[in-house]
Structure 1
Amino acid sequence: MNLRQSFSVGLLALGISGSTHPLLAEDLIVNSYGGPYEQIIRSTILEPFEKQTGITVVYDAVGSASQDYAKIKASNGRPGFDVVVMTASQALQGCREGLLLPLESSAIPNLRAINPAIAKAAGPCGAVHELQYMALLYRTDHFPKPPASWDVLFAPELKGHVVLPTFQNSMAVDLLQVLSVMRGGDLVENTSPGFAAMRQLAGQSIGFEQSSAVLERYIRNGTVWAMPFWNGRAQLLVDEGLPIDYVRPREGTVPLIATMSIPSGAEHKDAARKFIDFFLEKGRQEAWATAYKVGSARLDVELPEDLRDRQISSEADMRALLLPDLEAVSRHLPEWGERWERDVVSALQ
């Protein structure tokens, strides 16, 4: 990142606009994540996009998906960035509240290549650029055989060796829904069994963390032996040669539908559409999926066999997942958030 970009990103983090190094007319501000994500998106997406279009990208690696949407809402659609990476839940909420722009295939042709069922799940304001799923991540030095069920998190020997996401991390909702189905409830309307299970699991946990980068530190250093985690980032840990692996438990799991959106008051809408279309190109999707170890919503992507076997890469993979009505989920989130604080966090011992 050059000096001007670093300064601009710092101002964005502080919520300040304007500087002695003002953004140029052709600059595009992309808000997304830090850590390994930032390193990979720079080399596979941002730099090739800049080279092809001549548009300079200022990368704003500040905030989680829920925090980013809070900025969009607080600013009435003018958060200071032009493209935001969130999840389908925020994309649906933003569309419903009129804070994100509907995306049209006439301006973003590669939207036509996205799996229609996945595109529908994300709604008209979210362009799906990757698919992950919530995996069960575990330490192989404590599990000679791979665990087969989410129930392993409740095992007495794991007390004090589990960490959980905060409600602001969408894994919390995913785990709540999976446990709800396992205990006789469902994904949306009857989640009381899930809340009861999460309350029990909080008693096993050492605490709650919002950032995936922080969550992974616990399993890296051996404090945590098993936890929920996104499969793409899990694969990056496996590739480092750490005593870590991951599985899709037999009860199933929930996909993470990652989306790009344009805030309604974005300054550089045309450049934002070009960026989204570029990211969704077949070659870019293949490069991104291979580098970040994720699946794609384009069914025509060609991935290495060893990667394809562990990702969401086919219609059959999609049918095997638990896919909640995300529009309904987004409507329940405020109520669930209050209940999480009251029933789950309060059970932490």
Structure 2
Amino acid sequence: MTDLIRLNRRLLLGTALAAPFVARPALAAGEVIVRTPGGTYDDVMRKYVYEPFTRETGITVRPVAATSAKLLAMFRAGNVELDLIDTGAGQLLTLDRMGALAPIAYDKWRWTKPEDISPELKSANRVSNFVYCTVLGYSKEAFPNGAPDSWAQFWDAGKFPGPRMLGDMASGSAHLEFALLADGVPKDKLYPLDVERALRVMDRIRPQIRRFWDTGALSAQMLSDKEVVAGSIWNGRLQVLIDRGAPLAYTWNEHMIQVQAMGIFKDARNVAGAQLLADYMLQAEVQAKYARDLIYGPTNTKSFPLMTEEERARAPGGPRSTQTGFYQNNEWWEDNRDRVNRQWSRWVQK
């Protein structure tokens, strides 16, 4: 009798241990290491992507910080320490051209339909997970009778006086596009950028530039602390301040739409897990949630109907945004970055 009880206990224990694998045959093991921008971004993605993905697949997600230089160094040294790269589209394009990225497994996606991702926001080895934009932000207190509503007006320091800011090359790219818009170049004629002309236009506003910012945090701090009255700033950074009650605002006119994208190191330790995570992250329902909290725009066209009218109205890449803004040309920037870096360095040190 005792032996029978022991046998039954062993059978019951074996069944209990095996049950999760029987109920969830697709459960996978392992970890996906993701390069991310960090900070609040990680908090939002953990809530809407990483933790639900782990519950669904059994794969844990570990976000890490890594600069562009570190990503390049990893690949060149043949010592890839992460799997999925979540970064600016320009940086990812550089890695793609070096042959560092694996093809995106669109044909194996099970959560997201590839055709739902805007065609201009995906390629063989890269796929965009959100869009953001750089807007002309300003202090409502500094301009109670009307603020600058275009880059030409931003350049008019006589009519709209006060210290200003613009982005430095260290922010990702110098804001040469805004200089050319201020000089009368139409949005659809910006590229290829006339760098020499843009720098001549920059000469006119430089006495009013308090600082060329290199991080989103610095641009937000300068506006919040009233160090400047107007300047270029990422929409998400500014919207957070506005939502907290800061007397700030921005115009949608002539904003620059920019792209965040994902790629997978072809020599990654967990290519399969990274492919699954990219697929999971791009679902319409998932994108609508993290785009709302990050105040950015989704790349899945089916996400917009899931957002409120207010959320759609302030989403970069949405109907309103594409009518009044323009997409930054990442290919041009990556083709010319070294040259522009040299020209910018000489100009900014004059």
Map residues 103-182 of structure 1 onto 2, 5 A cutoff: 103-108=104-109, 110=112, 111-119=114-122, 123-144=123-144, 145-156=146-157, 161-170=163-172, 172-173=173-174, 175-182=175-182
Percent of aligned positions that are identical: 22
Deviant stretches of 4+, over 6 Å: 157-160
Deviation at 1:67, TM superposition (A): 4.1
Would the alpha carbon gap of residues 321 and 164 (structure 1) be closer, same or farther in structure 2, given more than 3 Å must change? Answer: closer
Would the alpha carbon gap of residues 155 and 75 (structure 1) be closer, same or farther in structure 2, given more than 3 Å must change? Answer: farther
Work out whether residues 136 and 255 of structure 2, in 8 Å CA contact, stay in contact via their aligned partners in 1. no
Whole-angstrom CA distance in 2 between matches of 1:115 and 1:165: 28
Letter in 1 for 2:214: Q
Whole-angstrom CA distance in 2 between matches of 1:79 and 1:341: 31
What is residue 259 of structure 1 aligned with on the other side? 261
**Bigger CA drift: 67-76 or 293-302?**
67-76
Work out whether residues 131 and 297 of structure 2, in 8 Å CA contact, stay in contact via their aligned partners in 1. yes
Would the alpha carbon gap of residues 189 and 137 (structure 1) be closer, same or farther in structure 2, given more than 3 Å must change? Answer: closer
Whole-angstrom CA distance in 2 between matches of 1:324 and 1:244: 25
Would the alpha carbon gap of residues 79 and 176 (structure 1) be closer, same or farther in structure 2, given more than 3 Å must change? Answer: farther
Q: Is 1:208 matched with 2:212?
A: yes
Whole-angstrom CA distance in 2 between matches of 1:86 and 1:203: 33
Whole-angstrom CA distance in 2 between matches of 1:160 and 1:26: 54
Give 1:346's match in structure 2, choosing from 342, 346, 349. 349
What is residue 238 of structure 2 aligned with on the other side? 234
Q: Is 1:218 matched with 2:217?
A: no
Whole-angstrom CA distance in 2 between matches of 1:169 and 1:263: 24
What is residue 328 of structure 1 aligned with on the other side? 332
Would the alpha carbon gap of residues 196 and 71 (structure 1) be closer, same or farther in structure 2, given more than 3 Å must change? Answer: farther
Work out whether residues 152 and 181 of structure 2, in 8 Å CA contact, stay in contact via their aligned partners in 1. no
Letter in 1 for 2:272: D
Would the alpha carbon gap of residues 177 and 30 (structure 1) be closer, same or farther in structure 2, given more than 3 Å must change? Answer: same
Whole-angstrom CA distance in 2 between matches of 1:62 and 1:43: 21
- Residues 164-215 of structure 1, C-alpha deviations (whole Å, 9 max, x = no match): 3321323x34x21232244255322523222222344443222233221222
Whole-angstrom CA distance in 2 between matches of 1:269 and 1:95: 16
Gap regions ≥5 residues in structure 2: 1-28
Whole-angstrom CA distance in 2 between matches of 1:75 and 1:240: 45
Deviation at 1:60, TM superposition (A): 0.8
Whole-angstrom CA distance in 1 between matches of 2:252 and 2:319: 17
Letter in 2 for 1:165: G
Given the two structures, how large is their TM-score scaled by the length of structure 2? 0.80
Q: Is 1:188 matched with 2:192?
A: yes
Q: Is 1:46 matched with 2:46?
A: no
- 1:41 is paired with a residue whose SS is helix
Would the alpha carbon gap of residues 246 and 212 (structure 1) be closer, same or farther in structure 2, given more than 3 Å must change? Answer: same
- Residues 87-136 of structure 1, C-alpha deviations (whole Å, 9 max, x = no match): 222222221210122213113453332111232xxx32221111111111
- 1:253 is paired with a residue whose SS is strand
Q: State the number of aligned residues.
A: 312
Deviation at 1:320, TM superposition (A): 4.1
Work out whether residues 34 and 61 of structure 2, in 8 Å CA contact, stay in contact via their aligned partners in 1. yes
Would the alpha carbon gap of residues 143 and 70 (structure 1) be closer, same or farther in structure 2, given more than 3 Å must change? Answer: farther
Letter in 2 for 1:151: A
- 2:62 is paired with a residue whose SS is strand
Work out whether residues 166 and 208 of structure 1, in 8 Å CA contact, stay in contact via their aligned partners in 2. yes
Letter in 2 for 1:102: P
Whole-angstrom CA distance in 2 between matches of 1:314 and 1:159: 32
- 1:81 is paired with a residue whose SS is coil
- 2:327 is paired with a residue whose SS is coil
Give 1:273's match in structure 2, choosing from 257, 275, 279. 275
What is residue 80 of structure 1 aligned with on the other side? 81
Would the alpha carbon gap of residues 199 and 147 (structure 1) be closer, same or farther in structure 2, given more than 3 Å must change? Answer: same
Deviation at 1:72, TM superposition (A): 4.5
Work out whether residues 188 and 328 of structure 1, in 8 Å CA contact, stay in contact via their aligned partners in 2. yes
Letter in 2 for 1:264: K
Whole-angstrom CA distance in 2 between matches of 1:168 and 1:264: 28
Deviation at 1:220, TM superposition (A): 1.7
- 1:134 is paired with a residue whose SS is strand
What is residue 3 of structure 1 aligned with on the other side? none
Whole-angstrom CA distance in 2 between matches of 1:124 and 1:199: 41
Whole-angstrom CA distance in 2 between matches of 1:268 and 1:160: 52
- Residues 130-178 of structure 1, C-alpha deviations (whole Å, 9 max, x = no match): 11111112122212234201234434477773233321323x34x2123
Would the alpha carbon gap of residues 291 and 189 (structure 1) be closer, same or farther in structure 2, given more than 3 Å must change? Answer: closer
Would the alpha carbon gap of residues 75 and 165 (structure 1) be closer, same or farther in structure 2, given more than 3 Å must change? Answer: farther
